[in-house]
Structure 1
Amino acid sequence: MKKLKSKRGETLTETLVSILIIAMASALLATMVGVSARLTKRAEAADAQFYEELSAAEAGRGEDGDAAITLTVGGSSGELPVVISGGSGELKSYRLAGVEVAP
C-alpha cells in the first residue's frame, strides 16, 4: 500500500506551530507596550518635578539659606556672601547677598 502525501495545504502541526509563534509574538508585543507606558509615566513625572524645581530656583522661591563662596585668583583669596534659594529638591539657585536682580 502506498502512503499518500498531501500537497494541498498546511499540516495540522504546521498550523499549530504558526499559531504558537503568533501567540508568543503577541504576548511579547503586549509586554513591550506595557513597559513603555510605565516608563513614559515615570519620565513625565520626573520631567514635571525637574521643571518645578527649576522654576522655584529661578524665581528665588523656597528654602533660603546663607553661605559664602571662597574665590582664589592669582594667590589672593576672598569670600563672597551668597543666598541659596530653590525648592525642596536638589536644584538650587545662588545669588550674591545684598544684590537685587531686576525682574
Structure 2
Amino acid sequence: MWAEQVKIYDELVAKCPRFERKGKTMPYTSANGYMFSLVNKAGEIGIRFSEEVKKRYLKEFRTTIYKSYNSVMHGYILVTEEMLENPSNVAKLLDESYDYVMSLEPK
C-alpha cells in the first residue's frame, strides 16, 4: 500500500515542473522553507493550503484534515481515493499549494 501510494505521489509531483519530490523514507515537497505536501507512514497523501482554502476544500472534496504520525497537520487536507481518480486535478492542487507557500514570508 505505502509503496503504491508513493508511486502515485511521485507521478503527481512529476506533473509539476516548478518543484520536486524530496525525502527518501518520508516523501514530501517543500519550498520557501515550508513543507506543502507529504505521504505519511499509512500511505496517505496530504496537501497544505491557507486556512480559508482548506475549509473550502474540506467541503468541496468531502475529505478530512490530514494527520501524520498521529498529529494533526494544520492547513493540510487528506487526498482521498476519489480525488486520485483525477490526477490532473490533484496536480493542480499541488501547484496551488506551492503558490501558497511561496506567498508566505520565507523561513
TM-score normalized with structure 1 length: 0.20
**Higher RCO (Cα < 8 Å, 6 or more apart):** 2
**Larger Rg, first or second structure (1 or 2):** 1
If each structure's helix is expressed as a fraction of its own residues, which one has the higher value?
A: 1
